[in-house]
Amino acid sequence: MTAPMLELRDVARAFPVRDALGRSKGAVRAVDGVSLSVPRGSVLAIVGESGCGKSTLGRLALRLIEPDSGAILFEGEDLRSLSPAALRARRRDMQLIFQDPFASLDPRMTVEQAVAEPLRLHGIVPRSGERDRVAELLSRVGLRPELARRWPHEFSGGQRQRIAIARALASGPKLIVGDEPVSALDVSVQAQVINLLQDLIRELGLTFVLISHDLGVVRHIADRVAVMYLGRIVEEGPAAEVFGNPKHPYTRALLAAVPGQGHTRGAAALLEGDVPSPINPPSGCRFRTRCPHAEAICAAEIPPLADHGPKGDHIAACHLQDRLPPAAARHERDAGGERLKRLQAFFSDQRTGE
């Protein structure tokens, strides 16, 4: 197996919660003991509902926020052991693309200044070569170099996100984390940006972590998928396996919730109740309060991430993964599959028409 570019080992982070008088009301365990491995040159997608901890996990992976515990290894080097100066130098190899292209660019900087900033911070090219390098980066993301003197407010959302991608590429990174990089864009523009990211990943040999709730985008681009629920990974495996044979009831529910099919959802797909409080999550399996298959063991014991199959590369945290009704899994797969296929066809059409 390819050596991991990024590895997280039992990483956790909690945020204290206080009332209006400043008194402690506990802590939100946003990420609670997550372990992940991202092979070099692969695309890992982290999916889940809003508030599940996936964006926090992405920032922990880059050490933009500090974990309470656990190890973060980049090319085998523990980022938590680095001094501030060493970490700053290491950041040349790690970049983040933010969700909102309207907020991620400084309105007081021209496009040229924004894209050139990483070049200057890391001393990548001499001052005399900055303009040529910026022009090259803009061309690579599909923008005309003569636009470099303009200001961010003069561009559309899709163009701004291309500028943000050019800025992320400026330092020559090995790893990029994309935090919902297309969710703020129109669907047609999403397809163009996703196709651009795919081309860049292939041409530059990038390792990419995609944080997203859009399963159509994930299925189109990801090699592996990790599903999060209330701060923990509940399923992880090759994208084709997770979409084609989901082992966890929560993953099945996410796939069945893809709208626009005209299919009747199976009983296994129904979610009951609200998402539990992350301050006081349920005992045992955190999904059990909404799971139609929950049994006594689900409340008594935390299910380990395990694979009961022969390959060992598709794991799920469910006591009942070997006993879930196969008919329900097949029904839910059908319910989400057609729209996902249509989205993939749409991405391909957009690529052809560019």
Q: Which of 8-12, 96-100, 302-306 has the highest mean pLDDT?
A: 8-12
Q: Would you say residue 329 lies in a domain?
A: yes
What integer best gives the mean pLDDT of the chain? 87
327 confidence band (pLDDT: 50, 70, 90): very low
Angle, to 10 degrees, between the axis of helix 157-169 and the axis of helix 130-140?
130
Is the confidence at residue 261, as pLDDT, over 60?
no
Q: Which residues pair with 210 in a beta bridge?
A: 45, 178
Looking at residues 197-207, what average pLDDT do you find? Answer: 96
Say if 226 falls within a structural domain.
Answer: no
- 309 or 3, higher pLDDT: 3
The answer to the question of residue 27 being in a domain is no
Nearest CA-CA partner of 219 in 199, 250, 200, 244: 244
pTM of this prediction? 0.87
Residues whose CB falls within 8 Å of the CB of residue 86, separated by 6 or more in sequence, listed in order: none
What is the spatial distance between Cα 141 and Cα 138, in angstroms, rounded to a whole number? 5
- Model confidence pLDDT, tens digit, residues 30-81: 999 999 999 999 999 999 988 899 999 999 999 999 999 999 999 999 999 9
- Is 325 strand, coil or helix? coil
Backbone conformation region of residue 213, classed left if phi is above 0, alpha if psi is from -120 to 50, else beta: alpha
Q: Which two tokens stand for residue 169?
A: 């590429």
Whether the per-residue pLDDT at 194 is higher than 80: the answer is yes
Per the structure, the count of domains in the chain is 1
Q: What is the tens place of the pLDDT at every residue in 100-145?
A: 888 889 999 999 999 999 999 999 999 989 999 999 999 999 999 9
Quick check: is 326 in a domain? yes
Q: For the chain, count helices (H), then strands (E).
A: 11, 11
pLDDT at position 268 over 60: no
Out of 23-32, 292-301, 332-341, pick the least confident. 332-341
Strand partners, 12: 32, 69
pLDDT score for 50 = 87
Sign, CA dihedral 179-185-186-188, equals negative
Q: Which residues contact 147 (CB under 8 A, 6 or more apart)?
A: 111, 138, 155
**Residue 294 is assigned to a structural domain of this protein:** yes
The percent of residues in the chain predicted with pLDDT above 90, rounded, is 67
Report which of residues 154 and 102 the model is more confident about. 154
Structure confidence at residue 295 (pLDDT): 93
CB of 101 closer than 8 Å to CB of 161: yes
Whether 15 is covered by a domain: the verdict is no
Q: Which of 165, 50, 167, 68 lies closest to 112 in space, CA to CA?
A: 167
Domain extent at residue 314:
238-353
